[in-house]
Structure 1
Amino acid sequence: MDRTTCLIAGGGPAGIMLGLLLARGGIAVTVLEKHADFLRDFRGDTVHAATVQLLDELGLGNAFRTLPQTRLQNFQLPQPDGQILLLGDFSRLKPPYDYVAMIPQWDFLDFLVGAAKLEPSFSIRMNTQVTGLSFDGERVSGVQWRDRSGAEGEIVADLVVACDGRHSIVRDAAGFVPRDFKVPLDTWWFRLPRYPDEMGDVATLTPQFGDRELMLTFTRESFYQVAYFAEKGADSRLRAEGIERFRQRITTMRPDFADRLDTLQSMDDLHMLDVRLNRLNTWHRPGLLCIGDAAHAMSPAGGVGINLAIQDAVATATRLAEPLRKGNVTEADLAAVQELRWMPTVLIQQMQRILHRLIFVPAFEGKRVGPPKLAVTLLRAIPAISGLTARFAAFGPRPEHAPDFARRPQTVAAPETKTGAEAPV
């Protein structure tokens, strides 16, 4: 039987960031990740300004900027009359936090793990899945695990933190049941090639509205990443229609993609995301804390899931580092973390629900294409609103900052940067 101070279930953005921060505080931390690596498509790839600022505080910002990535600096929406509606103007924000970085999540996680492994108290076990919880009376005292070889074991810990996502095994083992909110959409992700004459530096997000359907195209370094949105529960219908009918749907919204849709050989080339929006009323019990998607699954609307999870991790490390050092984490300590992160979570989820009602539901019902006329009028009449929306998207409500014990000088010099261009959304 092994022992650690903090056992983190799940090596996603919340789990790895929490492990890095606690290890910098000298706390023994073990992360268990069920996969052999982080190479999985269509996970969240947006790193917002609040996270970039956090990396600067940790002394990792300049090194992060050297990683291959593209930058979004303005969110725009083409209008039916040919005009461009500026939804978020990041140029109104103070540099260097005037953009959203788009980087494959596996590169981001590998980067964070590399930094964490410099700390002697950090340990990560790949190919190792948490299968259940251990208890000492009513208190969670550790986890059971199983690795890919079939070996099993137990790790005792002063605190277990569930960072194992929206289908959290740890949360279920603790008997927690999240409150679900009605969601009108599911998402199907796929990639399409970019041709050499389409290459460029600028990352763009371009929406298209079809007949009771929507599509969002992300222009990436060498390919297009596409999200197709349809009403909740449409997966069986779409698969029954087959890949040829799906190609026709995409061609209708993006005729310029017609010459490359043959790269979609079957419906198996689409990655379907069962969109959920939920949260736990209580994130903790003695010896256990849930954060990130394990505590609150987010809609893809706004692309804020990664950043909200990382903010949870920062608040957790800041509030619990000292109790963990003393070996005395109380329920009051765990409740304090939830209290810190409750307002941002509820506010963002409420805004996502509003976006569902104002954008997705009317589109799926064939009642309206694009945002409400009042919103369009206000954005055109008061350009400063685009700065407020950009700030909310970049930092969110009440962003967290690195605790003093985790801060370090920059590890590399600041790289040269290019001025970004406007990006439609």
Structure 2
Amino acid sequence: MNAIPTTPQTEIPATTHDILDVQQTHCCIVGGGPAGAVLALLLARQGIPVMLLEVHKDFDRDFRGDTLHPSVMEIMDELGLADRLLQMRHTKVPSLTLKTTEGPIRFVDLSHLKTKYPYITMLPQVDFLQFITEEAKRYPNFQMVMGANVQELIEENGVIQGVRYRGHGGWHEVRCQVTIGADGRFSRIRQLAGMEPIKTSPPMDVLWFRLPRKADDPEETMGRVAGGHLLVLLNRFDYWQVGYVIPKGSYQQLREAGLETLRQSVAEISPLFADRMQELHDWSQVALLTVESSRVKRWYRPGLLLIGDAAHVMSPVGGVGINYAIQDAVVAANVLSEPLKKGQLQESDLAKVQRQRELPTRIIQAFQSLVQQRVIARAIDSTQTFKPPFLLRLPILRDIPARLIAFGVWPVRIKKSLEAT
């Protein structure tokens, strides 16, 4: 690979481990989340040898993002996969409504957008990842290793040449033209590469837990604001996934007040749950999401590229994280496929991916920050009555967040040469 470092890099020492095997591929993707899985599929469809490494032994984890926005459904449609995907159990969310003491406010309405998919598709992420990776397995040049714990980057002459991982009885080495870090907000690859993110601290954290859903419960996904508290209610068929938004740093204080305080607060905000709060009987049922927003200044080094949350951690506002990660994957495939086929990948190709994706990322993070400061911070301020910003009441202005949430700053399309199977 003809990649020349533009700045001096610290060499990573050679391993002293006993390596069971050394494998060769064109692209090694670390992280089997939405970004990594979709990129692996796109490259595999082009006949490019690709290996996907996932640290866990399966995809089943609680409280992962399950929202596929119109942008992703259009990408799936370009691949000829949308109809099959929609045959899986899912719900459709055409609008987002916030119920307040002053009445409901529909602050995002996707139903009038010009798209085949004018809604958010709520599909368990485990099902989506299994669907995408099963599709990738149709191609003989695709490999996936579950339970692969990447511990080291291989660096020679300032260029990342692959990774070493533990699993399946010992140490293994993968050598490749390019390593893709798609391993999420706590990215091991980002840490090993010494790429520090620039962080911001949104004014809230979120507690996630499940409550039973009854047959006569409403179908809609919604938010509720009352008494300085904000609930997010996501319909998961057999249960509600409940997000209880709290001020930043207040989790320990809430724990000390006791679980009954949380139960009472939820029942007051949403009386619908008053008769089922005893199902929440232990703090082990509650997951704390420490909300942050960040991005690395530079997404690449010679032989290495970060995408998705590894490159830019998104706030949960708007549920856009999966969609931006998948758009990163599409752009990476568009840019890198031909150089990978020719064995002529340059550092400038990696830089091109960042150039195409950085501005949309910065704009959506700024939008999320605005919503956090102007809406959510007010909603969870117990010292004042929540009054929704006047702009949320203007239908013409509601089109702006709807389009941002649905498509991002601009739609991402699969390069024509990548569409054919």
TM-score by length of 1: 0.90
Equivalent residues in 2 for 1:67-82, closer than 5 Å: 67-82=88-103
Partner of 1:274: 290
Equivalent residues in 2 for 1:321-400, closer than 5 Å: 321-366=337-382, 368=384, 370=386, 372-377=388-393, 379=394, 383-400=395-412
CA deviations on 1:68-125 (whole Å, 9 max, x unpaired) are: 000011222334333x433222221124221110010000101101111111111110
Secondary structure at 2:412's aligned position in 1?
A: coil
Secondary structure at 1:39's aligned position in 2?
A: coil
Q: CA deviation at 1:206?
A: 2.0
Q: CA deviation at 1:367?
A: 5.2
Q: In the alignment, is residue 257 of structure 1 matched against residue 273 of structure 2?
A: yes
CA deviations on 1:146-174 (whole Å, 9 max, x unpaired) are: 11x55112111110000001111111110
Q: Is the 8 A contact 2:201 2:291 kept in 1?
A: no
Partner of 1:170: 189
Read off the aligned partner of 1:237 and give its amino acid letter: Q
Read off the aligned partner of 1:397 and give its amino acid letter: V
Partner of 2:7: none
Partner of 2:13: none
Q: CA deviation at 1:393?
A: 1.5
Partner of 1:156: 175
CA deviations on 1:163-194 (whole Å, 9 max, x unpaired) are: 00111111111010000012211111111111
Instruction: Indicate how the Cα distance of structure 1 residues 370 and 51 shifts in structure 2: closer, same or farther if over 3 A, else same.
Output: farther
Q: In the alignment, is residue 142 of structure 1 matched against residue 126 of structure 2?
A: no
Q: Is the 8 A contact 1:242 1:266 kept in 2?
A: no
Partner of 2:69: 48
Percent identity, aligned pairs only, is 40
1:3 to 11, 21, 24: 24
Instruction: Indicate how the Cα distance of structure 1 residues 24 and 131 shifts in structure 2: closer, same or farther if over 3 A, else same.
Output: same
Secondary structure at 1:282's aligned position in 2?
A: coil
Equivalent residues in 2 for 1:284-299, closer than 5 Å: 284-299=300-315
Q: In the alignment, is residue 227 of structure 1 matched against residue 248 of structure 2?
A: no
Instruction: Give distance in 2, aligned partners of 1:290 and 1:109.
Output: 19
Secondary structure at 2:317's aligned position in 1?
A: coil
Secondary structure at 2:375's aligned position in 1?
A: helix
Instruction: Indicate how the Cα distance of structure 1 residues 291 and 376 shifts in structure 2: closer, same or farther if over 3 A, else same.
Output: closer
Partner of 1:25: 46
> Which runs of 5 or more residues in structure 1 are unaligned?
410-425
CA deviations on 1:45-72 (whole Å, 9 max, x unpaired) are: 0000000000010010110110100001
Q: CA deviation at 1:283?
A: 0.4
1:16 to 24, 37, 47: 37
Q: CA deviation at 1:236?
A: 1.9
Q: In the alignment, is residue 407 of structure 1 matched against residue 419 of structure 2?
A: yes
Q: Is the 8 A contact 2:36 2:52 kept in 1?
A: yes
Instruction: Indicate how the Cα distance of structure 1 residues 80 and 249 shifts in structure 2: closer, same or farther if over 3 A, else same.
Output: closer
Q: In the alignment, is residue 239 of structure 1 matched against residue 260 of structure 2?
A: no
Read off the aligned partner of 1:284 and give its amino acid letter: Y
Instruction: Indicate how the Cα distance of structure 1 residues 81 and 59 shifts in structure 2: closer, same or farther if over 3 A, else same.
Output: same
Secondary structure at 1:197's aligned position in 2?
A: coil
Q: Is the 8 A contact 1:209 1:369 kept in 2?
A: no
Instruction: Give distance in 2, aligned partners of 1:68 and 1:406.
Output: 28
> Which runs of 5 or more residues in structure 2 are unaligned?
1-21
Instruction: Give distance in 1, aligned partners of 2:59 and 2:204.
Output: 27
1:100 to 120, 126, 134: 120
Q: Is the 8 A contact 1:39 1:106 kept in 2?
A: yes
Q: Is the 8 A contact 1:68 1:103 kept in 2?
A: yes
Q: CA deviation at 1:16?
A: 0.2
Instruction: Indicate how the Cα distance of structure 1 residues 374 and 197 shifts in structure 2: closer, same or farther if over 3 A, else same.
Output: closer
Q: Is the 8 A contact 1:132 1:169 kept in 2?
A: no
Instruction: Indicate how the Cα distance of structure 1 residues 376 and 298 shifts in structure 2: closer, same or farther if over 3 A, else same.
Output: closer
CA deviations on 1:318-369 (whole Å, 9 max, x unpaired) are: 0001111111211111100000001110000000111111012223333555
Read off the aligned partner of 1:305 and give its amino acid letter: G
The count of residues paired between Structure 1 and Structure 2 equals 400
TM-score by length of 2: 0.91
Instruction: Give distance in 2, aligned partners of 1:370 and 1:278.
Output: 28
Instruction: Give distance in 2, aligned partners of 1:375 and 1:235.
Output: 31
CA deviations on 1:350-403 (whole Å, 9 max, x unpaired) are: 0011111101222333355556442144x1xxx333344322221111221112
Q: Is the 8 A contact 2:70 2:115 kept in 1?
A: no
Secondary structure at 1:314's aligned position in 2?
A: helix
Instruction: Indicate how the Cα distance of structure 1 residues 369 and 45 shifts in structure 2: closer, same or farther if over 3 A, else same.
Output: farther
Secondary structure at 1:91's aligned position in 2?
A: coil
Q: CA deviation at 1:240?
A: 2.2
Q: In the alignment, is residue 318 of structure 1 matched against residue 334 of structure 2?
A: yes
Instruction: Give distance in 1, aligned partners of 2:180 and 2:285.
Output: 34
CA deviations on 1:243-262 (whole Å, 9 max, x unpaired) are: 22211121121122121111
Instruction: Give distance in 1, aligned partners of 2:106 and 2:236.
Output: 21
Secondary structure at 2:140's aligned position in 1?
A: coil
Partner of 1:129: 149
Instruction: Indicate how the Cα distance of structure 1 residues 325 and 19 shifts in structure 2: closer, same or farther if over 3 A, else same.
Output: same
CA deviations on 1:263-299 (whole Å, 9 max, x unpaired) are: 1121110111111100001000100000100000000
Instruction: Give distance in 2, aligned partners of 1:329 and 1:62.
Output: 35
Partner of 1:423: none
